[in-house]
Amino acid sequence: MAALRSLTELPPSTCAQIEGVLCDIDDTLTWEGRLVPGAFSALHRLQGAGLKVVPVTGRPGGWVDQIARLWPVDGVVGENGGLWAYMRHGRMVRRFVQPEAERRTHRERLEELAQTILARIPGTALASDQAYRDLDLAIDFCEDVPPLPPEAIDAIVAEFVRAGATAKVSSIHVNGWYGRFDKLEGCRGLLRDAFGIDLDAARHRWIYAGDSPNDEPMFAFFPHAVGVANVRAFLDRMDAHPAYVTPSSGGHGFAELAAHLLEHR
């Protein structure tokens, strides 16, 4: 595994070619549970410089709705790629990777699985935002419960896998779902729908910023993936690492990334 390069090594020639920034939210735009003001204003400045800006998160459909409508962004991918939303001519467009009947069947299976996980792994809880989720089940290990040890996180993942679900670990939740999608699939869908962009052909012209194992498909795919400094805590849980790392953590690191990009354009 190559060592992570410093953000300052992201070349000006690359910065000049970037068309858009995709970014995780939790612990990438936030820090200690709060949106970092400098990161939020960075989204606005990136957009103002003509870049497309798209948060890509494990957070629920209900949050995606609010962010797509209110934030300075061009669209949002939520529930780890299961759905996306964007504004077109002042109206919201929402898309899901699975048809409604399939989502309903999966929902019933996940509700059963939730009972099993909460009963078998002490200290876990449903994520506080579970009510606003459309496709996935989020088990809290760190957000509104006292932090659980790595063995408990592994045990949650094992329960999802045993039940035939996909599981991804973020910095606060384990998210699990039925069906083959991830953050990268959701980005492909949103960029195709909203902008007619073929992400596979354009990957060299997009930045991805993230911090944890649910960002791994993105770190593997984007040659210019950037981890905020706190990604270091998760490196040994990931096979794919970002190419670059910021000096600071969370949203403070994202603001550094935006400043570097804008300075070299």
Interacting residue ranges for Mg ion, rule: CB under 5 A: 24, 26-27, 171, 211-212
Angle of helix 250-263 relative to helix 37-48, nearest 10 degrees, comes to 30
- CB-nearer residue toward Mg ion: 212 or 248: 212
Rounded to whole angstroms, the Cα distance separating 213 from 196 reads 28
Q: How far, CA to CA in Å, does 134 sit from each of 33, 76, 160, 193?
A: 23, 15, 17, 20
State in angstroms the smallest separation of the CB of 3 from Mg ion: 22
| Minimum distance from residue 104 beta carbon to Mg ion (Å) | 28
For residues 143 and 128, the answer to whether their CB atoms sit within 8 Å is: yes
Query: What is d(CA 35, CA 72) in angstroms, rounded to the nearest whole number?
Result: 14
> Cβ-closest residue to Mg ion?
26
Asked if 115 and 121 count as a contact pair (C-beta separation under 8 A), the reply is no
> Quick one: how many helices (H) and strands (E) in the chain?
9, 15
Shortest gap between Cβ of 230 and Mg ion (angstroms)? 9
Q: How far is the CB of 33 from Mg ion (least distance, A)?
A: 12
Would you say 40 or 195 has its CB closer to Mg ion? Answer: 40
Q: Are 63 and 138 in contact (CB under 8 A)?
A: no
Residue (20 or 250) nearer to Mg ion, CB = 250
Task: Tell me whether residue 27 or residue 98 sits nearer to Mg ion (CB atom).
Answer: 27
- C-beta of 65 vs 143, nearer to Mg ion: 143
Q: How far is the CB of 24 from Mg ion (least distance, A)?
A: 4
Distance of closest approach, residue 16 Cβ to Mg ion, in angstroms = 28
Name which of 98 and 246 has its Cβ closer to Mg ion.
Answer: 246
Residue pointed to by tokens 């779902």 = 177
Query: Which residues are CB-neighbours of 57 under 8 A, at least 6 positions away?
Result: 24, 25, 26, 63, 64, 76, 77, 78, 80
